Every structure is written in structure tokens, then in C-alpha cells.
A and B are shown apart, each in its own frame.
Chain A
Amino acid sequence: MTTIEPMPVVVPERRKPSLADGLRNGLPKLVLAPSFAIILVFVYGFILWTVYLSFTTSKMMPIYKWGGFDAYYRLWSQPNWYVAMQNLAIFGILYIGICIAIGLFIAILMDQRIRAEGVLRPIFLYPMALSFVVTGTAWKWFLNPGLGLENTMHNLGWESFKFDWLVNPKMAIYTVVIAGVWQASGFVMAMFLAGLRGIDGEIIKAAQIDGASTVSIYRRIIIPLLRPVFLSAFIVLAHMAIKSYDLVIALTGGGPGNATELPSTFMYSYTFTRNQMNVGSASAVMMLMGITAIIVPYLYSELREKNQ
């Protein structure tokens, strides 16, 4: 500051370019380059590699022999893949729907000037800090048909209580929903709570003066104002649902039979244990397309909004 007059502050970088300036201009790009190269190669390059593998005849090892759409044809004629897609639909819809419903409900309760908020909030959120494997292990034990919840209910005197979802092929996918909701709903609650705290109190006061009841204030004013939070929660949860792998593996192992197969477990078993690497790659490409369809429009709109 001492050597330069305060005058030429306007556009200081427009001076005669010297070697030092050249280096100064290049250095930032040089610093960013390795990271960007890593992303280019290990994300985008690897995605192309996987796409290519899905068009080959690879079995146990990658074989770079063109197989056309054979792998996709085989994927979509695989009953197992339909089970996986159907389970993803059941899991995804219930997981997203229930997480949002419970998250919003708890957030509204917490927003009623609750005294113990500082104690309650961490209780709803701590499952999010746990690994899916820990969550799966805990719920596997909790829902154990012999010694878990069922036994507890019998001990409490409810002798006819039956809860065998974990080993019942028709119901097993719902146990994944229960454990998933337990883990993520607190996080959705925190998102809604942040949204509720951001709403202008004046609007609500005005509605109260007009004689609106609390229920109609929430229904007509507050919940519509939370639209962006609904969208964010949906995106985050949909993304987590498509990727979920660990939870199913730890809770049910994909079973009983293939009752809780998801695209993620399908991809893993076809690639690494069933030696149909091209079909596994094709399923990975389908997963990528699913996520892209959800994420890209969202990122695009978010980045554009910020420019304004």
C-alpha cells in the first residue's frame, strides 16, 4: 500500500504484459489443472469406458469385442432387472414420500417455539452420521423375527403380533424403507426447519390479523413458500435412493432370494460375481442415465439462478 498511489485502482491488471504477468496468469490454471484432469479422466473418461464395456461381449474380464446392443437386450430381458426396477420404484416413492412427510411434520412441530430444540434436533439428526452398514446392522437386529420387535411385543402381552418382514419376500423391501427413512428423515427435517426460519414473519402476522387459523396459514401460505425446499429434498433423496447399496447389503443382502434386489446390487452381482460384465455395465449406464435426468436440470437451474 505504501509504494503505490491510491489513484490507479481502476482496472489495475491492464498493464504491459511481462513474463511475470504471464506466469501470474498461468499459475491459477496450473493449480487447477491436476484436479480438473483427474475429474476428466476418472469421472468422464471412466464413464465412457463403462459405456464402451456395455457394448462389448465382456464376461468375467473386459473383452473389447463389439457386441452391439446385446448387453442392453439381455439386461431388459432379465426378470431380475425388472425386480430391481420395481423395488427401486417402491423404495424410491415410499422413501422420498415418507421422509418428506415426516421431515416436514417434525419441522413444523419444532418451529412452535419449542423449549428443548437444542436437545431434540441432534436426536433426529444423528442417524445421518452413521454408516448405512451400521444402520443396516442395527435394524437387522431390531427387526429380527425371533428375538427383536416381535419378541418384545409378545413379552408385552400382544401374543398374536407378527412381524417377519425381514424374511418375508413380499415385505422385505419395506424394511429397507423403514431403515432408510429412520436415517434420512431427520436431515429432511433440518432442511425444512431452515426453510421455515427463512420465511418472513410479517406475512404470517398479516394472515393472523385477517383471522386465518393456524392450519390454514400452514396450508395456504407457509407450505407453498417452502416449494424450493421440497425440490431440494426430492433431489437429494432421489439421488440417495438410486445410489443406495450399502443399506440393502447390510440389512437384507438383497434377499430373501432376490426380493430386495436394487439396480445397485444388480450391477454389483452381475459384474463381480455372475461374470456378465457387459450386462453389469449396461445396468450402470441405466443408473447413470436415471441420475443424470434428475440432477442435470436441477444443477442447470441452480447455476443459472445464481447469475441473476
Chain B
Amino acid sequence: MSAAHETVSPGSARAARYVIYAALIFLALVYLLPLYVMLSTSLKSLDEIRGGDMLALPGDPSIAAWVKAWGEACIGVSCVGIKGYFWNSIKMVVPAVVISTLLGALNGYVLTKWRFPGHKLVFGMMLFACFIPFQAVLIPMARLLGAAGLSNSTAGLVFVHVVYGLGFTTLFFRNYYEAFPDELVKAAMIDGAGFFKIFWRILLPSSGPIIVVTVIYQFTNIWNDFLFGVSFSSGEASPMTVALNNLVSSSTGVKEYNVDMAAAVFAALPTLFVYIVAGRYFVRGLMAGAVKG
């Protein structure tokens, strides 16, 4: 550090810091701009949108567009707003997250503490399943759901999200349990504790952080999914993202930008809320999914 101080005068060092802060603040504003525009547009009237400036604050903020988006906006032929689709998404996300997380925890436990010949191959195959383009399974899944009478149903979507989320949840728990000391498990075995007892009493109580990471990751991914939703459901049974796209891309009648933006805010709220409350875990999940611990 001393060398740096000798070569750089204090004045230019301070100038450099101003430049860095200015650049960071500018970039932060750029990243915030679309969210700001989305929110402010949703609070404006249509006249103000047409006559005014996108960046201007709403002159007379009103939540009329929010009310309309929630309960009255027309999606397809029915004009009952997005609330039904919002609940569809909730009904889809909650069971899918719970089941896939639970299975992932058990899989991770087996793959680290009860290893068997070929465990690496099994894990490798589950891992690769995380990365396949879902287009490669779309047609067979559509056929299967149709044959099982599950197409266009929330149960069908729950099933699909559990199946294609398993790879990631297994990956998360496997990497976490890998670092869990084997000695504790061995000691419990000697005490006569069985498979489930060890899991329940020893691993699960210290799995808090990875459960949070997995739940957030799965929640975000499933809530934000569009491809499965649009492929396996339609009309009233669609999840929120599909309904939002239908609302925004419909070309009939007057384009109500404020209602579109309010609906987009509704679609974004749950994941944004999770991000604000538990951002640290959210980032950790993204990283684990990308760089694999």
C-alpha cells in the first residue's frame, strides 16, 4: 500500500474515488430505471401516459390501474383480472417447492452418507438433467399429461416442476451434506440410529441455510417459469406469467399501459419480496446452481 501512496498524489487518488462513485451511482440508476418506469407508469392515468413523459413522476398517483389489473382486466375473453392466475401460481409453487426440496434433501443425504457403487454416475445423470433444454422433453410431457388427464391442471404443473427441479435440489443438498462431518453420522450408526433417524435428528437440524437457499431458488424458478406454463396449460388454468403475457400481448381494444405495468408488478412482487427479505440466500442459490460450491 505504501508504494501506491508514493506514486499517486492524494489529490488524484481522491479524484479517482469520485469517478468510481459517480460511475457506480450512474450504473445503479440505469439498473433501477426500468423498475421505476414500471411502477410510475402503473400509478398514472392513460391520459397522463399518452401526453406526458415516461420518466416523469405521476402527477396524480392513483391505484386505479392496480385495482383494474387485479380484478377487472380482460385476459382472453374473461374480464376478471389476474387474481385467479396469481392464485394458480401460488397453488402450483407451494406443493412443487415442498416436494422437490424434501426429495432433494433425501437424495443428497443418500448420495453423501450412504454411498453405493455407482453413486457418482447417478449424481452425474441427475446433474446433467438440470441443464437440458426443456424443449427436448416438451412433446412427450404434453402427451403424458394428456393421457393422464392432467393437462391444463395445477396438479400437472406441480408434477412437471417437481420432476425438472429434482436435479437442482439434489445438487444443493449433496454439496451441502458433502461438507457435513461423516464422524457424526458414524457415531450415530454405532449408537444404533437408523437411516431416517440419523437424517431427522442429525442432518436436518443443521440444514437450515441450505433449506432456505433451495426453497428460494425453487420458488423463484417455478414462479417465474413460462415455458411449461404456456405449453401445458391454457385459459383459466394458466399461471401468472402466462396470464401476464396474454394480457400484454393482446391487441384488442385500447392498450392500457398502466394496467399492463400494474399486472407486471403483481407478477414481480412475490419474487422481489423474497429477494428483498432473503437476498443473501438468493444469491447463494444462484451461485451454487452456477459454480457448484
Contacts and interface: CB of A to CB of B under 8 A. Distances in A.
Q: Do A and B belong to a common assembly?
A: yes
Interface in B243-265: 244-245, 248-249, 257, 260-261, 264
A281 to B, nearest CB: 6
Interface string B1-41: 11110010000000001001101100110011111011001
Given A125-B283, A130-B268, A291 B111 contact: no
A190 B283 contact: yes
Contacts of A129: 220, 268, 271-272, 274-275, 282
Interface stretch (A42-50, A65-73, A89-97, A218-226): A42-50
A77 interface: no
A152 B32 CA distance: 17
A126 B248 contact: no
Interface centre among B20, B33, B268 (most CB of A within 10 A): B268
A142 B245 CA distance: 16
B34 A138 contact: yes
Given A131-B224, A132-B226, A50 B136 contact: yes
Nearest to A283: B135
A19 interface: no
Nearest to A284: B135
A256 interface: no
Contact of B131 (A138, A139, A295): A295
A92 to B, nearest CB: 14
Contact of A280 (B3, B139, B190): B139
B116 interface: yes
Contacts of A138: 34-35, 37-38, 261, 264
Nearest to B111: A32
B31 A123 contact: yes
B54 A151 contact: yes
A213 B137 CA distance: 53
Contact of B135 (A40, A123, A264): A264
Contacts of A39: 125-126, 129, 163, 166-167
A288 interface: yes
Contact of B21 (A45, A114, A186): A114
B170 A142 contact: no
Determine the interface band of chain B, counting residues with CB < 8 A from chain A: 35 or more
Contacts of A59: none
B191 interface: yes
B53 interface: yes
Contacts of B125: 36, 39-40, 44
Contacts of B126: 35-36, 39
A283 to B, nearest CB: 8
A109 B20 CA distance: 6
A308 to B, nearest CB: 14
A180 interface: no
B67 interface: no
A148 B187 CA distance: 65
B194 to A, nearest CB: 7
A137 B260 contact: yes
A123 B276 CA distance: 10
Contact of A245 (B55, B186, B226, B286): B226
B248 A137 contact: yes
Contact of B267 (A42, A133, A211): A133
Contacts of B79: none
B138 A12 contact: no
A267 B124 CA distance: 27
Contact of B248 (A13, A114, A243, A250): A250
A53 B248 CA distance: 34
Contact of B224 (A120, A130, A205): A130
B287 A194 contact: yes
A186 B139 contact: no
A83 interface: no
Given A141-B41, A147-B257, A24 B194 contact: yes
A272 B286 contact: no
Contacts of A190: 283, 286-287
A172 B151 CA distance: 34
Contacts of B2: 209
B139 A106 contact: no
B77 interface: no
Contacts of A272: 231
Nearest to B289: A236
A224 to B, nearest CB: 18
Contacts of A47: 132, 136-137
B87 interface: no
Given A32-B106, A194-B287, A299-B128, 4 more contacts: A32-B110, A50-B136, A128-B286, A131-B268
13 contacts: A42-B141, A43-B164, A124-B27, A131-B226, A139-B34, A141-B38, A142-B37, A205-B1, A208-B4, A264-B133, A271-B139, A288-B136, A295-B131
Interface of B: 1-4, 7, 17, 20-21, 23-24, 27-28, 31-35, 37-38, 41, 49-50, 53-55, 103, 106-107, 110-111, 114, 116, 120, 122, 124-129, 131-141, 143, 163-164, 166-167, 170, 186-187, 189-191, 194-195, 220, 223-227, 230-231, 241, 244-245, 248-249, 257, 260-261, 264, 267-268, 271-272, 274-276, 279, 282-283, 286-287, 290-292
